[in-house]
């Protein structure tokens, strides 16, 4: 391992943080009994199967099988190495952490992104300073104020201005020791092909800094003040900026999103900034791209309701439909805020005010099904019989996939009233559409599967469940662990993974005086075994293991081994019969009977 953290520091960090609080920043958790449950952040699901134990300081998903402690949660969720997860948790707990590097290449690997972050942070402050404190930024500031931006919003979102200069930022960064090659890779400057010199990427533009989930500046979007193209010039994707993973303003909106369990999704920066000023603090926007699986996973981890508020032109309606479809597939409750008069959200707020926007646009948003009723009639002449029948058939198909019977009845009655149709006929057609949808879902299912469900323990053989229960008790009590080892009389568990787990466990007991499940998970080197231990650690057990229960588990383990021996001897007996070796066949028969008597 290139980087090493002293074990006492790891234990200090682990004891200073609560896994429920850490996980709760990423997953909406609800307490049920001793544990907390929520939707798994590692795979798509509609019913909560993700469990967190405050008592054991571990998590486990009964759907996809992912499990571990607070360190492995961050490592799995953010794709980070152990050291990064430890540093993040140490900072959270206020613990100073110095990582011991064992070689120079490790140091280089650890620090190679640091200049990119530092340069972006420096330029963010510089651009903002130019805008609000200098004569060079006066015109840009007046432009923003004339467009309805407030000084409070400009400061909150750290909006800035890039000077109308080809090399000011280039020289500014070089004088502060940044390497031009690194700054080019960061997307801040561009290399000229003709002579190899560098020039500024952003010139004479309003600068909107872009932040990651932790509030670090990772990119910029520069907006022109005139008619130049492109209207918005964005940083290229870099080692620290991937627009498919970033949602504008998420780092500031996250507390409000989690508090309200509700996200409002916009198309652009200006809409978010205006909505925030209007009191809609749970506002975010995509980075000029369609929603990606990463965006949806991030939203779903923090809220279960999303209101999509896009422009009301053709492109905006189509974009809202695509976004709503993707969010609906992720089992998120969707509403669509409809903008009137061809206005975008920013324009509406400026024209009608923040209170009307909050109450009539956000508060008056349509359900996803109500939006689809309007969406599918676009471009159709419902006076035309063909268009009308095609529309009715499509809407019935959409109603058939609604999960709630009351919703289905509501929209069928609405359809029946509008077109003077029989409710019974619509219900009959809905039954047909529902069957067709299910057939289509079955055909598409293999393509949509994202994880391998864990086979439920109760469907496993008796010996398998017995070994799991024995391990669960061995994890709770050192004395029971050694008692079980003695009762096995030198025999091993039948399942190789179970035997590997108890081998680790006895090694741990030999080395450590106190047992903590979270510490033991770090002690295990194999990821598959760690997940199994996290799963077993979540099992519900009787407080005390009675002798009868213990003997039953041991007998199941030993019984299976005897059954395997019987099976093996029967095969040998059959072979002896085929070779007419009758004395051997008789002897094997006696051995089989002896084994059967012990079952």
Q: Mind listing the pLDDT tens digit for each residue in 231-241?
A: 999 999 999 99
Confidence (pLDDT) at 26: 85
Kindly indicate the confidence band of residue 506, based on its pLDDT and cuts at 50, 70 and 90.
very high
Percent of the chain whose predicted confidence (pLDDT) is above 70:
93
Predicted confidence (pLDDT) at residue 192 exceeds the cutoff of 90: yes
> By mean pLDDT, which of 53-62, 75-84, 152-161, 419-428 is the weakest?
75-84
Predicted confidence (pLDDT) at residue 281 exceeds the cutoff of 90: yes
Fold of 462-559: DNAb Helicase; Chain A (1.10.860)
Confidence (pLDDT) at 107: 46
Confidence (pLDDT) at 420: 93
Q: The dihedral of CA 361, 364, 370, 374: what is its sign?
A: negative
Confidence (pLDDT) at 578: 86
CB 408 within 8 A of CB 430: yes
Confidence (pLDDT) at 459: 67
Predicted confidence (pLDDT) at residue 468 exceeds the cutoff of 90: yes
- Determine the Cα–Cα distance for residues 286 and 272; give it in Å rounded to an integer: 10
What's the number of CA atoms in the CB half-sphere (13 Å) around residue 234? 15
Predicted confidence (pLDDT) at residue 453 exceeds the cutoff of 60: no
Predicted confidence (pLDDT) at residue 483 exceeds the cutoff of 90: yes
Q: What is the mean pLDDT of residues 19-24?
A: 94
Token readout for 33 is 């009994």
- Determine the Cα–Cα distance for residues 99 and 107; give it in Å rounded to an integer: 10
Q: What angle do CA 34, 39, 40 make, to 5 degrees?
A: 100
Please choose, from the candidates 370, 428, 376, the residue with its C-alpha nearest in 3D space to the C-alpha of residue 402. 370
Q: Which of the pair, 494 or 456, is modelled with greater confidence? A: 494
Kindly indicate the confidence band of residue 440, based on its pLDDT and cuts at 50, 70 and 90.
low
**Range with top average pLDDT, 80-94, 260-274, 552-566:** 260-274
- Determine the Cα–Cα distance for residues 336 and 334; give it in Å rounded to an integer: 7
Confidence (pLDDT) at 442: 53
Count other C-beta atoms under 10 Å from residue 237's C-beta: 13
Predicted confidence (pLDDT) at residue 100 exceeds the cutoff of 90: no
Q: Where are the domains of the chain?
A: 7-93, 114-234, 250-375, 379-435, 462-559
Q: What is the mean pLDDT of residues 269-273?
A: 94
Predicted confidence (pLDDT) at residue 599 exceeds the cutoff of 80: no
Confidence (pLDDT) at 471: 94
Q: The dihedral of CA 85, 91, 94, 96: what is its sign?
A: positive
CA distances in angstroms from 45 to 39, 61, 93, 140, listed in the order given: 7, 11, 32, 47
Q: What is the mean pLDDT of residues 452-464?
A: 62
Confidence (pLDDT) at 109: 47
Mean pLDDT score of the chain: 88
Specify the DSSP element, H or E, that contains 516: none
How would DSSP label each residue in 9-35?
Answer: HHHHHHHHS-HHHHHHTTS--EEETTE
Predicted confidence (pLDDT) at residue 454 exceeds the cutoff of 80: no
Predicted confidence (pLDDT) at residue 447 exceeds the cutoff of 50: no
Rounded to two decimals, the pTM is 0.70
CB 277 within 8 A of CB 252: no
Q: What is the mean pLDDT of residues 432-446?
A: 62
Helices (H), 420-461: 423-448
> By mean pLDDT, which of 193-207, 313-327, 529-543 is the weakest?
529-543
> By mean pLDDT, which of 40-44, 171-175, 538-542 is the weakest?
40-44
Confidence (pLDDT) at 84: 84
Q: Which of the pair, 541 or 599, is modelled with greater confidence? A: 541
The dotted CATH code for 250-375 is 3.40.1360.10
Confidence (pLDDT) at 374: 95
Q: What is the mean pLDDT of residues 567-574?
A: 82
What phi and psi values does residue 586 have, to the nearest 5 degrees?
-65, -45
What phi and psi values does residue 101 have, to the nearest 5 degrees?
-95, 135
Fold of 114-234: DNA primase DNAg catalytic core, N-terminal domain (3.90.980)
Fold matches, 7-93 and 114-234: no
- Determine the Cα–Cα distance for residues 164 and 345; give it in Å rounded to an integer: 30
Confidence (pLDDT) at 406: 95
Confidence (pLDDT) at 392: 95
CA distances in angstroms from 519 to 9, 54, 482, listed in the order given: 12, 14, 20
Token readout for 71 is 């360190």
Q: Does CATH place domain 7-93 in 3.90.580.10? A: yes
Predicted confidence (pLDDT) at residue 152 exceeds the cutoff of 80: yes
Confidence (pLDDT) at 490: 86
Kindly indicate the confidence band of residue 437, based on its pLDDT and cuts at 50, 70 and 90.
low
> By mean pLDDT, which of 104-113, 294-303, 319-328, 392-401 is the weakest?
104-113
CB 258 within 8 A of CB 303: yes
Kind of pairing between the strands at 217-223 and 205-211:
antiparallel
Kindly indicate the confidence band of residue 112, based on its pLDDT and cuts at 50, 70 and 90.
confident
Token readout for 141 is 């500031």
Count other C-beta atoms under 10 Å from residue 130's C-beta: 21
CA distances in angstroms from 344 to 233, 357, 370, 407, 430, listed in the order given: 21, 11, 20, 30, 36
Token readout for 130 is 């130019």
* pLDDT single digits (tens) 200-230: 999 999 999 999 988 999 999 999 998 788 9
Q: What is the mean pLDDT of residues 185-193?
A: 95
Q: What is the mean pLDDT of residues 387-398?
A: 94
Percent of the chain whose predicted confidence (pLDDT) is above 90:
61
Report the length, in residues, of the chain.
599
Kindly indicate the confidence band of residue 3, based on its pLDDT and cuts at 50, 70 and 90.
low
């Amino acid at each position: 391992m290139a980087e090493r953290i002293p074990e006492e520091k790891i234990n200090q960090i682990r004891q200073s943080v609560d896994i429920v609080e850490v996980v709760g920043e990423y997953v909406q958790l609800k307490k049920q009994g001793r544990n907390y449950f929520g939707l798994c952040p590692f795979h798509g699901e509609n019913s909560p199967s993700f469990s967190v134990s405050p008592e054991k300081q571990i998590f486990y998903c009964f759907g996809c099988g992912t499990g571990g402690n607070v360190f492995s949660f961050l490592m799995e969720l953010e794709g980070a190495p152990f050291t990064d997860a430890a540093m993040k948790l140490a900072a959270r707990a206020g613990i100073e952490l110095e990582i011991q590097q064992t070689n120079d290449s490790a140091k280089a690997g650890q620090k190679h992104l640091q200049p990119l972050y530092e340069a972006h942070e420096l330029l963010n402050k510089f651009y903002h300073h130019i805008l609000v404190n200098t004569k060079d930024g006066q015109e840009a500031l007046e432009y923003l104020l004339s467009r309805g931006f407030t000084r409070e919003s400009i400061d909150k979102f750290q909006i800035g201005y890039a000077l109308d200069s080809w090399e000011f930022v280039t020289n500014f960064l070089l004088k502060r020791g940044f390497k031009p090659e690194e700054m080019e890779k960061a997307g801040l400057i561009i290399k000229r092909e003709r002579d190899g010199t560098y020039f500024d990427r952003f010139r004479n533009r309003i600068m909107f800094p872009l932040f990651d989930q932790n509030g670090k500046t990772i990119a910029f979007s520069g907006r022109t003040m005139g008619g130049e193209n492109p209207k918005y010039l964005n940083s290229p994707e870099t080692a620290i900026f991937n627009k498919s993973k970033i949602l504008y303003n998420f780092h500031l909106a996250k507390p409000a999103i989690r508090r309200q369990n509700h996200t409002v999704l916009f198309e652009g920066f200006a809409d978010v900034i205006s909505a925030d000023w209007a009191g809609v603090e749970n506002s975010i926007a995509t980075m000029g791209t369609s929603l990606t699986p990463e965006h949806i996973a991030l939203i779903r981890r923090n809220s279960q309701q999303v209101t999509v508020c896009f422009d009301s032109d053709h492109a905006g309606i189509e974009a809202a439909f695509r976004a709503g479809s993707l969010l609906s597939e992720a089992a998120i409750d969707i509403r669509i805020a409809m903008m009137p008069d061809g206005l975008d959200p920013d324009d509406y707020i400026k024209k009608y005010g923040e209170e009307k926007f909050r109450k009539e646009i956000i508060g008056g948003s349509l359900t996803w099904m109500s939006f689809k009723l309007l969406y599918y009639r676009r471009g159709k002449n419902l006076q035309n019989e063909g268009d009308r029948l095609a529309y009715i058939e499509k809407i019935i198909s959409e109603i058939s996939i609604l999960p709630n019977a009351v919703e289905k009845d509501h929209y069928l009655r609405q359809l029946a009233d509008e077109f003077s149709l029989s409710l019974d006929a619509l219900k009959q057609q809905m039954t047909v559409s529902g069957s067709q949808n299910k057939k289509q879902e079955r055909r598409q299912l293999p393509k949509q599967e994202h994880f391998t469900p864990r086979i439920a323990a109760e469907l496993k053989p008796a010996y398998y469940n017995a070994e799991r229960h024995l391990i669960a008790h061995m994890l709770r009590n050192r004395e029971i662990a050694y008692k079980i080892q003695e009762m096995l009389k030198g025999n091993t568990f039948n399942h190789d993974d179970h035997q590997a787990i108890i081998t680790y466990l006895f090694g741990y007991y030999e080395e450590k005086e106190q047992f903590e499940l979270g510490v033991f998970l770090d002690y295990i080197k194999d990821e598959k075994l760690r997940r199994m231990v996290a799963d077993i650690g979540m099992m519900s057990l009787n407080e005390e293991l009675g002798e009868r229960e213990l003997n039953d588990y041991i007998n199941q383990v030993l019984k299976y081994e005897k059954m395997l021996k019987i099976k093996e001897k029967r095969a040998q007996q059959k072979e002896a019969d085929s070779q007419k070796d009758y004395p051997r066949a008789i002897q094997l028969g006696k051995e089989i009977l002896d084994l059967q008597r012990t079952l």
